[in-house]
Homo-oligomer: A and B are copies of this chain.
């Protein structure tokens, strides 16, 4: 990780965590249990990648990171809700996440489901509040909500999760060609869609042009796919302790880039995607340095 990227992620993390702290303040109107469960997963030490993408996209369009932190927090809440629901016994049935017991292991399944629901709902509230603070017009505010909903919903992340469930035990049911198409769908939706939405949200809040939206969406698609491939690779070769989970993909015999194409080809594909990502950043010049560094980091990280 370059010093620039490291500093950027650390700064954004610190700032977005302060915003999350405010958004997740205990309220008299709420049962304490739900707030505790939401905070448990939200403050479990993620890299805050999505908030950093919102911030970097806004900066690429001449705005400031500090103006878009609430939407960064919204995207982080959506990411966190998806992890909570994904870990449930009915889904991936994971006991550990980032080295800690998963949400339902601590708070029970019912509260974990509702904590996810609460985070998803609060995310839209936060994004709408951010649009108001930025003085966005009616159509731009509606577009911000639309972009986040599409990235998170059945045409995006939720669709990817469903396809991922269906991919279990794929070896017995699919030809290699079918499996490849299914895998492409999963990667494009489960991870890339919300990354694309994060970048797009940053541009919308900064009132950037539609050509900038297109360029950063294409960049997001590329790093999103690369990220998921790298994740598949890490699940096989990563240091289990660093990763904080036990290679559950392999354990569950899941369809992954590695199980389908092998390690070497998966690595080659990830690097080609990082190259494509660099290309999409060309119009932004030196302002996009952090996003360049991020594309490289995604395919070389070890956890």
Contact = CB atoms under 8 A, between A and B. Distances in A.
B158 A145 contact: no
Contact of A149 (B108, B121, B139): B121
A146 B114 CA distance: 19
Interface in A132-147: 132, 135-143, 145-146
What range describes how many residues of A lie at the interface? Answer: 35 or more
Interface stretch (A6-14, A23-31, A222-230): A23-31
Interface in A177-195: 189
Most buried by B among A118, A122, A131, A154: A154
Contact of A116 (B117, B135, B143, B155): B117
A121 B78 CA distance: 10
Contacts of A161: 114
A137 B138 CA distance: 4
A198 B175 CA distance: 48
Tell me the number of copies of this protein: 2
A131 B124 contact: no
B158 A118 contact: yes
Contacts of A113: 85, 88, 90-91, 113
A120 interface: yes
B118 A121 contact: no
Given A128-B146, A138-B137, A149-B122, A111 B155 contact: no
B90 A154 contact: no
Nearest to A132: B142
Contacts of A127: 145
A35 interface: yes
A109 B90 contact: yes
A120 B117 contact: yes
A32 to B, nearest CB: 9
Nearest to A168: B110
A38 interface: yes
A19 interface: no
Interface string A71-112: 000000000010001001011000000000000000011110
B111 A153 contact: no
Given A114-B162, A128-B145, A138-B140, 16 more contacts: A29-B155, A31-B166, A85-B113, A91-B113, A114-B161, A118-B158, A120-B121, A121-B153, A124-B148, A125-B150, A125-B153, A129-B146, A132-B142, A135-B138, A136-B138, A145-B145
17 contacts: A29-B155, A30-B155, A31-B162, A31-B163, A31-B166, A81-B117, A90-B110, A113-B113, A116-B117, A117-B158, A118-B153, A120-B121, A125-B146, A127-B145, A138-B140, A138-B141, A141-B141
